[in-house]
Structure 1
Amino acid sequence: MLKINMFSTADKVKGQGVGSAYLELVKLLSNRAKNKLSVEINKYRKADISHYHTINFPFFLSTFFSFLGRKIGYVHFLPETLEGSLKIPQPFRSIFYHYVIAFYKRMDHLVVVNPTFIPKLEAYGIKKEDITYIPNFVSRTEFYESSAEEKKKLRLKYGYTKKFIVLGVGQIQERKGLFDFIELAKRLPNIQFIWAGGFSFGRITDGYSELKKVVDNPPENLSFPGIVDRNKLVDYYNLSDVFLLPSYSELFPMSILESFSTGTPVLLRDLDLYPAIIEDDYVPAKDVNEMFDKLVELESSPEMITHFQEVARSAAAYYSEDRLVKIWEDFYWEQAKEGK
């Protein structure tokens, strides 16, 4: 049996995808691979593998302890992906960005959730053979599709009366495309818009002042329920007709997989990274005007909604727990052999 140490503080900040991805993996391995892998959280014990999910400085110092085994780093972000997320003044921003890459270089091997990050890491001087792509996944027991009757009950429960509902999920920050989401709500008053998420990092969030004004006084058809617990978030996907993520920068959002798992059609700003992981599984739109056109089309076409519901279900099957647990098991055993 392999001994694996998980190092993470990702679950201390609510409403961020890094925490969701970390919790999903720990639960998967604990439930499905407990006979092959012994997993401990934030324990400095002798191990075959130490898997770092966050880049806390005490974790960086621990990489100098050889008894922790082979060091695996999870790449949830790069310096350029933090632009538009947090306001970090100079010179602290440059120092932090340098630290991020220094942390990744302390690892024996890196895991990325999107293959488009491999050449970007190579540009920072990290060898391609030291990087592996393993996609995110979500639990089908936590994110599931409700019946048509149950979906109607959920709308009544949460007080949403409009016929067509568009959902966005994630931190409230400029990078997530919130200003476009707000603009679409203004242009389409007959559609209910919901953004489930909050200011996870408070006032240092990029665009905080302007976004806070809208959150406190939104248009009548725009709802901000705040950071929603994962056991309630499934309700929001099920009561919605379309999931919309207008982000300008992403890795592999957990919210997309959550949408797939609930059979909810997905509309995305068409970023370069998406074709590499979910090509043809979503409705693409290059800007706010195309998002407007696609939402109008989806609202008026039950056939289009039905098609992308089927697409979502098919995509969810591909990113299943059954498939991913085998991938992670094989990866850990391979890395343990490399370590020896």
Structure 2
Amino acid sequence: MPPQIVQLISSYSYLALFLLIYLQEIGVPIPLPNELLMLFAGYLSFKGILFFPAVLLCIITADFTGTITLYLLFYFCGNYLMAHKPKWIPLSDSTLDRLQQKVTQGGWWAVFLCRITPFIRGYTSVVSGLLRLKPKWFMPIAGISSILVCGTYITLGEISGPYWNEVAIKLNHFRYEALGLVLLIISIIGITRLSTILKEKKKAKEKLQYEKDRFIRLHMVSETAWVTQGQGVHTAYIELMELLAGDRDIILTVNGEGKGNIFHSHTYGPYYFWKGWAYKGRRILTAHVIPDSSKGTIPFWKQLFPLTSLYLKMVYSFADVVIAISPTVEKAIKDLGVKSDIVRIYNPVLTENWARTPENRQIGRKLLGIKPNEKLILGVGQLQERKGVEDFIDMAIAMPDQKFVWVGGRPWGMFTEGVQRINNRIENAPANIFFTGLKAIEDMPPLYAAADVFLFPSYQENCPLAPLEAAAAGLPVVYRDIKEYTTLYRAPYLRATDTAAFIKTAQRLIDDPDYYCESVKTSCQLIAEFDKEKIKNELISLYRQTLDKYFEENKWGSISSTWAKH
């Protein structure tokens, strides 16, 4: 304990305590923090030098008086002080407005918490005065907090009296530790503030650039560029890039180190979080999968389903806007309790990429070893239970006179459900069915063109592209009759409830030319719902809305109008 403090209290008793507490509360530095001074006063009460009730009354009164003095000074003179403050003090009107908004949102409880927090108690009086918090609200808060804080420290000093020598030594070291802690806190606040200023400047620069040229600098990401390319997500990503790259309002950056003013991802792995971190407020995710997509897709999917749901919820919540590619996806995201904005935009179909040509048909049939007069029934999808590949094998067994081809493999390798079981089925499949394995997207148009009928026996889908690509290639498409399609498609489509129905419909398409022609027309009606220009316009509109919302400046209410409510 500083000897000058001990001498002062010994000479002037309660008057010294009052002045020391009061002066430090109004901002005058003294050698000992108020908290330690109150502990010492409690110790003196234990020793019988001071009277405990008198210590309580003296210190609480000094603390409350100092608090009110500081509050009233800035309440009545705050405008003058702010107008004549040095320019280097980082306390602008806009800063006060933001602070006032935060305090308003927390109400009197926020002020009370600040009043009982060490190191910032005095600043609370200053800010409350500057914000012109009404005296009828602040004074009771100041009184209650003074009683609580001062009473606690004095009582602790009284209780620790028998051990004061040990406590005093620790308190002496605590002064330097506390000073270091304060400096650390100030440094952290300074660094945080500097980071915020730099971010605000960057944001202002981006806004100025956007308002100047109105270009959408789109940063599109998909981890399928490096892995798992043999699936619909990669096709959707590739075709969307192709669709948007030709738009005059869009500058496209893909996966690399480039920067944009908006972020759009198609996948949800580590790269999605890494690249999306810098785009808070402008993150868009196309949700191609939902928790139900894991059923029959990965090993032990039943046991992993809760974890899958939890992870996908985190993925969706990281985005500011989630694009649901079907009503089923939209409902699944909402059922998870995701708070991000959700919009429904379907996957576009670039019909010109899949149009059947005689050249493609010849290439595809040569590649598959199919003779010109043979009928070919095609299936596309990963080799997993969910896609219905085992049912497709049963169809080939039931129709030995027709050729069957399944295009697709296992992008996830051994992390695919039923590898051994399906491999056994493939090894024992009849000679009229052929499995191509994974194929690149550029190899698919000849394969569609080589076929005559497309069967899609998948058990769970969201907005599948393979049947739409087949429809664009002029093929009749037969879907499994599942509820997802009833909400996805407005136009009619061919459907089969089970394997027997698939076989019956496929045989009729081969045997009945009139039915075949009508089914091709049905396919044409189906793909009309996925018009690329319509979907492109919806996406560009979403990008602009997201950017406009992001760049819109915060609007704070005035100080007087906000506190008038109190």
* TM-score greater than 0.5 by the shorter chain: yes
Question: Computing the radius of gyration over CA atoms, which structure comes out larger, 1 or 2?
Answer: 2
Cα pair distance change 1:153/1:96, threshold 3 Å: closer
Q: By how many angstroms is 1:283 displaced?
A: 0.9
Opposite residue 159 of structure 1, the aligned amino acid is G
Asked if residue 57 in structure 1 is aligned to residue 267 in structure 2, the reply is no
2:166 is equivalent to residue 166 of structure 1 = no
Aligned residue identity for 2:483: D
Alignment-derived partner of residue 481 in structure 2: 270
Q: Write the letter of the residue equivalent to 1:187.
A: A
Matched, 1:139 2:353: no
Deviation at 1:268, TM superposition (A): 0.7
CA distance in 1, matches of 2:256, 2:361: 43
> Do the aligned partners of 1:262 and 1:313 also contact (CA within 8 Å) in 2?
no
Secondary structure, aligned partner of 1:202: coil
- Greater CA drift, 134-143 or 19-28: 134-143
2:283 maps to 1:71: yes
Q: Encode CA deviations 1:164-204: one digit per residue, 9 max, x unaligned.
A: 22100111111001111111111111111110111221122
The correspondence of residues 174-193 of structure 1 with structure 2, limited to 5 A, is 174-193=385-404
- Whether 1:28 and 2:243 are equivalent positions in the alignment is yes
Deviation for aligned residue 1:29? 0.8
Cα 1:59–1:233 change in 2 (3 A) is closer
Say whether the 8 Å CA contact 2:491–2:526 is kept in structure 1.
Answer: no
Residues 61-87 of structure 1 deviation map (CA, whole Å, 9 limit, x = unaligned): 55443x555111111111121111111
The structure with higher relative contact order (CA 8 Å, sep 6+) is 1
The residue that corresponds to 1:5 in the other structure is 219
Q: Structure 2 CA distance, aligned partners of 1:89 and 1:252?
A: 21
Percent of aligned positions with the same letter in both sequences?
A: 27
> Structure 2 CA distance, aligned partners of 1:189 and 1:90?
36
Please say which of residues 258-267 and 134-143 is displaced more in the overlay.
Answer: 134-143
- Give the CA deviation at 1:251: 0.9
Partner of residue 260, structure 1: 471
Query: 2:289·2:329 contact (CA, 8 Å) conserved in 1?
Result: no
Q: 1:203 aligns to what? A: 414
Residues 217-232 of structure 1: pairs in structure 2 closer than 5 A = 217-232=428-443
- Structure 2 unaligned blocks of 5 or more: 1-214, 552-566
2:335 and 2:280 map into 1 onto residues whose CA distance is 28
Distance in 2, Cα, partners of 1:320 & 1:93: 35
CA contact (8 A) 1:44 1:68 kept: no
Q: How high is the TM-score relative to the length of structure 1?
A: 0.90
Whether the 8 Å CA contact 1:48–1:69 is kept in 2: the answer is: no
- Give the CA deviation at 1:96: 4.0
Residue in structure 2 matched with residue 194 of structure 1 by the alignment? 405
Find the partner of 1:301 among 512, 517, 531: 512
Residue 312 of structure 1: which of 490, 512, 523 is its match?
A: 523
In the alignment, structure 1 segments of 5+ residues that lack a partner are none
CA distance in 1, matches of 2:541, 2:490: 26
Q: Which amino acid aligns with 2:356?
A: E
Is the deviation greater in 319-328 or in 17-26? 319-328
Cα displacement (A) at 1:332: 1.2
Tell me which residue corresponds to 2:296. Answer: 84
Letter in 1 for 2:244: L
| Alpha-carbon contact 1:24-1:139 (below 8 Å) kept | yes
1:206 CA drift (Å):
0.7
Alpha carbons 1:189, 1:221 under 8 Å: kept: yes
Separation (CA, whole Å) in 2 of partners of 1:154 and 1:7? 31
Match of 1:95 among 307, 310, 334: 307
Q: Distance in 2 between matches of 1:320 and 1:42?
A: 26
In the alignment, is the contact (CA less than 8 A) between 2:479 and 2:493 conserved in 1?
A: yes
For residues 199-244 of structure 1, give each alpha carbon's deviation from its aligned partner in whole angstroms, at most 9, with x where no partner exists.
Answer: 2211221111111123344311101011122222111211211111
Aligned to 1:107: 319
CA distance in structure 1 between the partners assigned to 2:259 and 2:366 by the alignment: 53
- The structure with the greater share of residues assigned to strand is 1
Residue identity opposite 1:197 in structure 2: G
How far is 1:281 from its partner? 4.0
Task: Report the CA distance between 1:108 and its aligned residue.
Answer: 1.0
Which residue, 233, 243, 254 being the options, matches 2:454? 243
Please state if 1:155 is matched with 2:365.
yes
The answer to whether the 8 Å contact 1:88/1:204 transfers is no
SS in 2 for 1:316: helix
Letter in 2 for 1:3: R
Deviation of 1:40 after TM superposition, in Å, equals: 1.0
How far 1:124 moved relative to its partner? 0.9
